[in-house]
Amino acid sequence: MSKELNPNTFMEYAKERQDRIEAAEAVIRDDFYLNRMAKVFHPDRQYMKIDQITELEKDTKLYRFVPDPARGTTRCAPFLAGQYLNIYLEIEGMKINRSYSISSSPADARNGFYELTIKYVQDGLVSRYVLDNWKEGDEVELSGPAGNFSYQPLRDAETVICLAGGSGITPFRSLAKAITEGDEDFRLILLYGSRTADQILFKDEFDKLAEDPRIQVIHVLSDEEREGFENGFITVEMIKKYAPADAPYSVFICGPQAMYRFVDREIEKLGLTRKYVRHELFGEIHDASSLPGYPGTDQPEVKITVSIRDMTRTVTGSANDTILQTMEKNGITVPTSCRSGECGFCHSTLVSGKVYVPAEIEGRRLADHKFGGIHPCATFPLSDIEIIVPYDK
Ligand code: FES
């Protein structure tokens, strides 16, 4: 393959392009109409204030954000129902970001606010920090909306079976509201798994949304038997019971990692065309040794040498952590967004060493396998490794 076709060579051009943009005159960078439009639709950062906090259940809160004109944000960037926002934080000197599905609707953004639902996840540094510290009136830094977990009429079927677990309900709240508010038009059948009835999030709201004939909501309780509710886990039989018998349907899934492992096996039995099955990878992958297929390593502590911009550093971390987690724990900030191997934001090059990428989040292209492309957020080191992160935003 010629030098020009090597993606690693391309990354050198990407850096050169970025440097030229930064060096360009302000009139080119900021004043062209298209550049101004791009900033409205795809802002790098949105500076917001917390307008309202609602406690939904123990360790789960709904945060409403409004623009903060004093820091330069005058409106909420528009988004497609199902997309997410990143929140940027500094905790104990570490710069960290996390993505959360937007649980309000596109119409809400036009009316001047976003909502995110944040639930404490076990060992979740960010969720614990947010739940314990954020107060109404606090200033918050968000990304622009991102992600592909939205309804695409050209790709998706007219009926979508939505499988949600716990706080994975959030993008479906946005999608269902978008249907009733006229921004989307498809049939949404929601199978929502909770442990018990009192842990169901947004129950009253979904009861109301289900008055729209295009929306059907079925609650599935794993730890409680109740009349009017399904009992157990979401199985292939349950999906078939509610899915249209004589028309194609898409399946959208959002929930905790343990749910994916179970539900994915069930969905395979449906034999659906691949484009009809969509996942929102929700939350970070961690604890390599607990993942099915983990090959193991005899080197529990590894050295990671990172070249980023003009700096090269070697840090030490656990083989049980992703490369990204080790970098962040050592104060190395790299560009990230989804943190689950999907968006490609953290794309880097493995120069040497052995790594493990869990099959369930392996989203790399053939060229990545050939030229060492990895996503540090979804890759675990098995030995000492050396990587190049293309540039730091
Ligand atoms: S942050 Fe999205 S792939 Fe790593």
- CA-nearest of 124, 117, 129 to 65 is 117
- pLDDT at res. 373: 94
Question: Is there a common fold for 41-142 and 159-280?
Answer: no
Dump pLDDT digits (tens) for 66-95.
Answer: 999 999 999 999 999 999 999 999 888 878
Q: Is 327's C-beta closer than 6 angstroms to any atom of ligand 1?
A: no
Dump pLDDT digits (tens) for 264-277.
Answer: 888 888 888 888 88
pLDDT band per the 50, 70, 90 thresholds, residue 392: low
- pLDDT at res. 7: 62
Give the span between the Cα atoms of 46 and 142, in whole angstroms. Answer: 5
Dump pLDDT digits (tens) for 90-128.
Answer: 888 878 888 899 999 999 999 999 999 999 887 778 899
Tell me how far the alpha carbon of residue 299 lies from the centroid of ligand 1, in angstroms: 25
pLDDT tops 90 at residue 130: yes
- pLDDT at res. 135: 97
pLDDT band per the 50, 70, 90 thresholds, residue 281: low
- pLDDT at res. 192: 97
Atom from ligand 1 closest to the CA of residue 324: 4
Tell me how far the alpha carbon of residue 146 lies from the centroid of ligand 1, in angstroms: 12
Tell me how far the alpha carbon of residue 135 lies from the centroid of ligand 1, in angstroms: 29
**HSE of 386, CA atoms in CB hemisphere, 13 A:** 4
- pLDDT at res. 335: 82
Q: Which residue has the tokens 């199902």?
A: 82
Domain range annotation of the chain: 41-142, 159-280, 294-389
The answer to whether the beta carbons of residues 247 and 159 sit under 8 Å apart is yes
Fold exhibited by the domain 159-280: Rossmann fold (3.40.50)
- CA-nearest of 168, 115, 202 to 283 is 168
Dump pLDDT digits (tens) for 162-205.
Answer: 999 988 999 999 999 999 999 999 999 999 999 999 999 999 99
Q: What phi and psi values does residue 90 have, to the nearest 5 degrees?
A: -125, 115
Q: Which amino acid is at 42?
A: H
pLDDT band per the 50, 70, 90 thresholds, residue 252: very high
**Of 21-35, 128-142, 292-306, 336-350, the least confident:** 21-35
pLDDT tops 80 at residue 160: yes
The per-residue pLDDT of the chain, averaged, comes to: 89
Pairing of strands 348-352, 385-389: antiparallel
Q: Among the CATH numbers 3.30.420.40, 3.40.50.10810, 3.40.718.10, 2.40.30.10, which is that of 41-142?
A: 2.40.30.10
Give the span between the Cα atoms of 303 and 351, in whole angstroms. Answer: 13
pLDDT tops 90 at residue 291: no
Q: Is 119's C-beta closer than 6 angstroms to any atom of ligand 1?
A: no
The answer to whether the beta carbons of residues 121 and 203 sit under 8 Å apart is no
Atom from ligand 1 closest to the CA of residue 336: 1
What percentage of the chain exceeds 90 in pLDDT?
62
- pLDDT at res. 178: 98
How far is CA 278 from its chain centroid? 13
Averaged pLDDT, 291-296: 84
Residue 99: in which H helix or E strand, if any? strand 94-101
- pLDDT at res. 306: 95
What percentage of the chain exceeds 70 in pLDDT?
94
Give the span between the Cα atoms of 329 and 83, in whole angstroms. Answer: 28
Neighbours of 189 (CB within 10 A): 20
Tokens of 351: 């120069």
Query: What 3-state class would DSSP assign to 4?
Result: helix
Q: Is 254's C-beta closer than 6 angstroms to any atom of ligand 1?
A: no
Give the span between the Cα atoms of 17 and 23, in whole angstroms. Answer: 10
Give the span between the Cα atoms of 241 and 225, in whole angstroms. Answer: 18
Tell me how far the alpha carbon of residue 184 lies from the centroid of ligand 1, in angstroms: 28
Dump pLDDT digits (tens) for 230-243.
Answer: 999 999 999 999 99
- pLDDT at res. 50: 98
The answer to whether the beta carbons of residues 153 and 186 sit under 8 Å apart is yes
- CA-nearest of 307, 325, 304, 313 to 97 is 325
Q: Is 342's C-beta closer than 6 angstroms to any atom of ligand 1?
A: yes
Pairing of strands 159-165, 373-374: unpaired
Tell me how far the alpha carbon of residue 370 lies from the centroid of ligand 1, in angstroms: 19
Q: Is 339's C-beta closer than 6 angstroms to any atom of ligand 1?
A: yes
Give the span between the Cα atoms of 72 and 62, in whole angstroms. Answer: 24
Give me the DSSP letters along 207-272: HHHTTSTTEEEEEEESS---TTSEES---HHHHHHHS-SSS-EEEEEES-HHHHHHHHHHHHTTT-
Pocket test for ligand 1, best of 281, 346, 349 (most atoms within 8 A of CB): 346
Neighbours of 169 (CB within 10 A): 25
Atom from ligand 1 closest to the CA of residue 376: 4
What is the 3-state secondary structure of 343-365?
CCCCCEEEEECCEECCHHHCCCC
pLDDT: is 383 or 310 the higher one? 383
Q: What is the pTM of this model?
A: 0.82
**By CB neighbour count within 10 A (0-12 exposed, 13-18 middle, 19+ buried), where does 7 fall?**
middle
**Superfamily assignment of 294-389 in CATH?**
Beta-grasp domain (3.10.20.30)
pLDDT tops 80 at residue 15: no
Atom from ligand 1 closest to the CA of residue 342: 3
From edge to edge, which strands make up the β-sheet containing 373-374? 311-318, 301-308, 385-389, 348-352, 373-374
- pLDDT at res. 34: 79
